[in-house]
Amino acid sequence: MTTVMGICRSFRDRAFARFFHCFPCLSDPARRSSWGLKVTLVMLHLIFVGILFVFDGDLIEKTKKEPWYTALYLLLLLATLVQYFITSGSSPGYVVDVMRAVNETNVIYQKSSMASKQPASSQNGSLNVVIEGSQSGRNFQGSNPSSWTKLVMDMYPPGTSIRSCTCSYCNVEQPPRAKHCHDCDKCVLQFDHHCVWLGSCVGQDNHCKFWWYICEETALCLWTGILYIMYLKANISRPWWKDAIMILLLIALSISIIFLLLLLLFHSYLVLTNQTTYELVRRRRIPYLRRIPERVYPFSKGICRNLYNFCCVRSSIYSLEPLPSSQELEEK
């Protein structure tokens, strides 16, 4: 019996080894968990939509008469899933990437005489780092480019210790609004939160993508809920168990709609005031926000400018925001 169990374990281990050799991305337990959540989310979408088409004969007839209606609904479903994978696969904006871009630019400047007005970028020119001043934004890469350490320290008030803004895990200097994520094991620019369903952080580079995903998911759930209600209100004789399944799914869908609507409104508020979830929830624990009154939004530049920076700035541009001066806080 022991020999048989040993042979089975050996066969299982060899099978897993071959599988992970063919799919190395799944060899990491964290990645397997992330992919498991992605598959679960896709299956939930297919179940809620598939049961509707299987049970609702009227919807099939309506599709034959008005195919554009169902086509729009399925297009929204596809767009939502595509937006989900785009968001989950995008980088939130890691501090180490920006630090590397700044240091590469500094090395390039020292080795060659580059134009002083050219924006800072890495060697392949794929990253731009913009330092926003108190009056107007300015590109890193002036007549005298700075190292990453000096660049970060210039964003804090004079006299700030370098030790207080250095991450104890990554050992890199964090600009304001950055935070170390223990799940990703990296420091993230404008850290908002770590999303379990995405399997990654939400930060400066993918917050806009995350907002659009929530918006599309909310619209899809609302449309699906309306179709469920229309099915249950139809005066058609059908088995009781079909109604029971649809009612249970509608209850779950209603809970999801409430959660998504609240989440969409919450993140819309954050966008309009240029805040993050971490800054709002842990405001009293963040040293540079601790003494600022609750109703003062230190990084806000007005609703229109906040919306423009959130929606229209290219993802290849990383914006580093220095802490506002006492005079700016007084004006706010």
The residue among 212, 179, 205, 207 whose CA lies nearest residue 319 is 205
| Residue 240 CB neighbours (<10 A) | 7
pLDDT at residue number 124: 41
So where are the chain's domains?
Answer: 31-92+197-297
Give the pLDDT confidence score for residue 267 in this predicted structure: 97
- Residues 205 and 178: beta-carbon distance below 8 Å: no
Q: Are 73 and 48 in contact (CB under 8 A)?
A: no
103-153 pLDDT, tens digit each: 777 666 666 554 544 544 444 444 566 666 544 344 444 434 458 888 888
Which is nearest to 198 in space by CA: 26, 4, 40?
A: 40
Three-state secondary structure along the chain? Answer: CHHHHHHHHHHHHHHHHHHHHHCHHHCCHHHHHHHHHHHHHHHHHHHHHHHHHHHCHHHHHHHHHCHHHHHHHHHHHHHHHHHHHHHHHCCCCEHHHHHHHHHHHHHHHHHCCCCCCCCCCCCCCCCEEEEECCCCEEECCCCCCCCHHHHHHCCCCCCCCHHHHECCCCCCECCCCCEEECCCCEEECCCCEEECCCCEEECCCCHHHHHHHHHHHHHHHHHHHHHHHHHHHCCCCCCHHHHHHHHHHHHHHHHHHHHHHHHHHHHHHHHHHCCCHHHHHCHHHCHHHCCCCCCCCCCCCCHHHHHHHHHCCCCCEEEECCCCCHHHHHHC
| pTM score over 0.75 | yes
Specify whether 195 is catalytic.
Answer: yes
In whole angstroms, give the CA distance from residue 161 to residue 288. Answer: 13
- CA–CA separation, 248 and 254 (whole Å): 10
Q: Each residue of 301-316: pLDDT tens digit? A: 899 999 998 988 766 5
> Taking phi first (over 0 means left), then psi (-120 to 50 degrees means alpha), and beta for anything else, what does residue 177 get?
left
Among 195, 201, 208, 221, the one annotated catalytic: 195
Per-residue pLDDT, 127: 54
Q: What's the pLDDT at 138?
A: 42
Assess contact for 318 and 189: CB atoms under 8 A.
Answer: yes
Query: How confident is the model at residue 16, as a pLDDT?
Result: 46
Q: What's the CA gap between 1 and 5, in Å, rounded? A: 6
Give the residue ranges of the chain where pLDDT is below 70.
1-32, 106-146, 235, 314-317, 332
How confident is the model at residue 180, as a pLDDT? Answer: 94
What's the rounded Cα separation, in Å, for the pair 88 and 41? 12
- Token pair, residue 5, equals 């169990």
